[in-house]
Structure 1
Amino acid sequence: MRIASFFSAVICAFVLGGCSNLAQLSEIGRPPRMTQISDPTRTANYRPITMPMPPLQPPPSEPASLWRSGSRAFFKDQRASQVGDLVTIIVDITDTAALNNNSTTQRTADENLSIPRLFGVKQAILEHLTGAGGLATNSSDDSGATGKISRNETVTLRLAGEITQVLPNGNFVIMAQQEVRVNSELRELKVSGIVRPQDITADNTVTHDRMAEARISYGGRGTLTEIQTPRYGQQILNSVLPF
């Protein structure tokens, strides 16, 4: 069964690799193609977000008043507030982590057991019959381990997204996508998450640390990405080989 599974994985790798190679062959002599601008809610992997919501409260009635609750302008709030409105997302991630872990354990045990009399037989007779007057054991255990983790990541970008959904409690679902092509390398930026209306500033921007369920992706495809990515066969061998 393992051999059959291995060959199945190899065949799948060749098929996927063939599809990838065909896509690469179609772009020989030209830069990577950009995707067409489309409605993000119509993509195959789009799913509307549902979250726990409190019961809806009727808005307060303010007759003969020109002021709206939550407005920052006297006549109209210029911030994004409904599906289709644009909002600028600011991503500024500086993540540094260092962890050192050392552990050492040592244990020594020594046990002696004597039998002075057994069923009326004295220890001298037992020693003559067995060559020992009791039981003696000893053990020793010593182990040590050292671990170290060091990570430094920095991501800084700004991109415009749009509100794709307004949740029943008033929070916004925001999705943003941007493609940048430089020579033969195509960079794809994707950001999505949930924000509160009050976290959108007066200049219609929101920072990533104000987004719940944030999903931030910075990747791409092209000549450099292909060189840095291991081949499918190498990935399969690294996954299945036990040595």
Structure 2
Amino acid sequence: MSVRPQPVPMAMPSDGSIFQVSNYKPFFEDQTPVRVGDLLMVQINERTSSSNKEDSSGQRNSSINGSIAGSLALPFFPGAIEKKLAGTSLSGSGTASEQGKSSSNNTSSFNASITVTVIDVYPNGNLLVSGEKQIKINGEHEFVRLSGVVNPRDIKQGNTVESTRVADARIEQLNDGRSRLYNDTGWLQKVFLSVLPF
């Protein structure tokens, strides 16, 4: 995403005087970029950090006890024949416990600077900016791309703005070179990894 500034028409409409309103620019005007094609430097200072920790534990105990007794006696002659039978007893117990822990930490940082171009001016004055920077050193090719919306009030002296003040920011960094080839997986290995079930 980039755009060139619109050319100024050669034939300016005359309003009958030397002073032309359409071509007027104050000498002491602030040079803040407010038009399509103006340049703006963005200082990329992005740092993210996240952590998550979870502990869970549970325990359950249960027990059961029971007994059965038996005897034999004549209903019409009490005490004549009375015999106790062998009884039985039941008992049981159980214990269940559960414990789990999980934790994760993630930290990343990105520091750079890039000059972008104003490609559109919204009706409320906000600027849609976009730019790309390419650096090639000793066979290593690096791309840095940025686009987003900037509020002119956030622009500091020197036409700079922090990336944390850019709305809808899309920041991308890519490296293309020998070091990436060494760390990248070969195409045949990718085929085997995609079909292997383990």
**TM superposition score category, shorter chain reference:** 0.5 to 0.7
Counterpart of 2:36 in 1: which secondary structure? coil
> Greater helix percent: which structure?
1
**What's the CA shift string for 1:135-186, capped at 9, x where partnerless?**
x876543333232323332211111001112223221111121011110110
Quote the Cα distance in structure 1 between the aligned partners of 2:193 and 2:61.
41
Quote the Cα distance in structure 2 between the aligned partners of 1:225 and 1:235.
16
Quote the Cα distance in structure 1 between the aligned partners of 2:93 and 2:126.
67
What residue ranges of structure 2 are gaps of 5+ in the alignment?
4-25, 72-86
Aligned mate of 2:43, from 90, 94, 97:
90
Aligned mate of 2:107, from 142, 152, 157:
152
Aligned 8 A contact 2:144 2:174 in 1: yes
Q: Does 1:194 align with 2:149?
A: yes
Moved more, 93-102 or 166-175: 93-102
Quote the Cα distance in structure 2 between the aligned partners of 1:74 and 1:112.
99
What residue ranges of structure 1 are gaps of 5+ in the alignment?
1-38, 42-72, 117-122, 126-130
Q: 1:239–1:196: structure 2 CA closer, same or farther, 3 Å change rule?
A: farther
Q: 1:237–1:180: structure 2 CA closer, same or farther, 3 Å change rule?
A: same
Quote the Cα distance in structure 2 between the aligned partners of 1:109 and 1:238.
48
> Greater strand percent: which structure?
2
Quote the Cα distance in structure 1 between the aligned partners of 2:187 and 2:179.
17
Give the corresponding residue for 1:22.
Answer: none
Aligned mate of 1:77, from 30, 50, 57:
30
Give the corresponding residue for 2:97.
Answer: 142
How many residues of Structure 1 are paired with residues of Structure 2 in the alignment? 161
Q: Does 1:101 align with 2:63?
A: no
**Identity between Structure 1 and Structure 2 (%):** 26
Q: 1:138–1:174: structure 2 CA closer, same or farther, 3 Å change rule?
A: farther
Residue type of the partner of 2:162? T
Larger Rg: 2
Aligned 8 A contact 1:124 1:133 in 2: no
Give the corresponding residue for 1:54.
Answer: none
Give the corresponding residue for 2:185.
Answer: 230
Residue type of the partner of 1:81? V
Deviation, structure 1 residue 192 = 1.2
Aligned mate of 1:185, from 135, 140, 148:
140
Aligned 8 A contact 2:42 2:160 in 1: yes
> What is the TM-score when the length of structure 2 is the normalising length?
0.66
Aligned ranges for residues 5-16 of structure 1 at < 5 Å? none
